[in-house]
């Protein structure tokens, strides 16, 4: 067989091999995309799974920060993410913070930490004075979360926000609203002593305090009802 014939056959084999490789890669990529979409759907429809995932991410974050500074022992922090730094500009503690930074709050140790996970950098560390105005007077508020959409799991993130703002508060009820077409999140106050807390929640959630919508039932033994709208999707 001549060298020319050998080269020709080799080219055919290489071309076929390239096609097979591209086909295999396409199948793998489609499979990976399908897997991640499935995982997303599973988490969005299963708040418990989402909560477990959040706890795992929190533990990973604590372990990462623990490598560069000493953290309080035997205490699990509350973890929040800076999502709108413009709303925090008037607070000196967040002067050098940026969107995406993580905030760890240790209530027992009265310590707060701002961490930049992208650059593995401690942005700020400071004490928390719970006797001041950082926590509203209505600390023991009882909150009900009601999903006003057809998207599962929306109340979980708001529950985390409530726990950050009111460590001694309690989400005592989570249910589905009478309607699933709420465009905006609504906050309803049933206890006058909780008005300040409701106003603070309205500011943080970029929503408004309003009366109970017609057709919705009033939860029993609740100070504040939050009906989550499509603006939180």
Residue 167 contacts residue 78 (beta carbons within 8 Å): yes
pTM recorded for the entire structure:
0.43
Residue 99 has pLDDT above 70, yes or no: yes
DSSP one-letter string for 83-127 = --GGGGTTSGGGTT--TT-EEEEETTTTEEEEEETTTTEEEEEEE
pLDDT in tens, 34-54: 434 444 444 445 555 555 666
Can you give the pLDDT at residue 193?
A: 78
Mean pLDDT on 106-116: 87
pLDDT in tens, 173-200: 888 877 889 999 999 998 887 888 888 8
Instruction: Mark 65-75 as b/e (b = at least 16 C-beta within 10 Å).
Output: beeeeebeeee
Least confident segment among 6-10, 64-68, 97-101, 110-114: 6-10
Can you give the pLDDT at residue 109?
A: 84
Can you give the pLDDT at residue 168?
A: 66
Q: Which fold has domain 142-232?
A: Alpha-Beta Plaits (3.30.70)
Mean pLDDT score across all residues of the chain: 75
Structure tokens at 74: 């035997």
Which residues touch 19 (CB under 8 Å, ≥6 apart)? none
Mean pLDDT on 72-91: 82
Residue 136 has pLDDT above 60, yes or no: no
Residue 65 has pLDDT above 90, yes or no: yes
Pairing verdict, β 170-176 and 142-147: parallel
Q: Could you give the angle at which helices 47-65 and 154-165 cross, rounded to 10 degrees?
A: 50
Residue 144 contacts residue 226 (beta carbons within 8 Å): yes
pLDDT in tens, 152-178: 888 887 888 777 777 767 888 888 877
**φ, ψ for residue 36, nearest 5 deg:** -70, -35
Can you give the pLDDT at residue 2?
A: 40
Using CA atoms, how far apart are residues 180 and 224, in angstroms rounded to an integer?
A: 20
Distances in whole angstroms, Cα of residue 205 to Cα of each of 3, 65, 77, 231: 74, 28, 22, 10
DSSP 177: -
Cα radius of gyration rounded to whole Å, the chain:
25
Residue 101 contacts residue 123 (beta carbons within 8 Å): yes
């Amino acid at each position: 067989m001549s060298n020319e014939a050998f080269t020709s056959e080799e080219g055919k084999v290489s071309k076929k091999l390239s096609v097979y490789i591209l086909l295999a890669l396409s199948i793998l990529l489609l499979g990976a995309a399908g897997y991640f979409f499935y995982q997303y759907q599973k988490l969005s429809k299963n708040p418990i799974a989402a909560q477990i995932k959040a706890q795992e991410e929190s533990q990973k974050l604590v372990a990462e920060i623990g490598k560069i500074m000493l953290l309080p022992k035997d205490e699990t922090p509350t973890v929040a993410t800076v999502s709108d730094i413009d709303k925090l500009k008037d607070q000196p503690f967040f002067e050098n913070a940026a969107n995406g930074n993580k905030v760890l709050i240790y209530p027992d140790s009265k310590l707060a930490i701002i961490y930049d996970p992208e650059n593995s950098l401690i942005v700020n560390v400071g004490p928390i004075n719970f006797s001041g105005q950082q926590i509203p007077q209505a600390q023991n508020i009882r909150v009900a979360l009601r999903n006003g959409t057809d998207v599962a799991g929306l109340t979980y993130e708001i529950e985390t926000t409530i726990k950050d703002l009111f460590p001694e508060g309690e989400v005592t009820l989570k249910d589905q609203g009478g309607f699933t077409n709420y465009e905006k999140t609504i906050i309803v106050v049933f206890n006058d002593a909780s008005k300040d807390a409701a106003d603070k929640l309205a500011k943080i959630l970029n929503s408004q305090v309003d009366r109970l919508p017609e057709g919705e039932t009033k939860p029993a033994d609740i100070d504040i009802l939050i009906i989550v709208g499509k603006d939180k999707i």
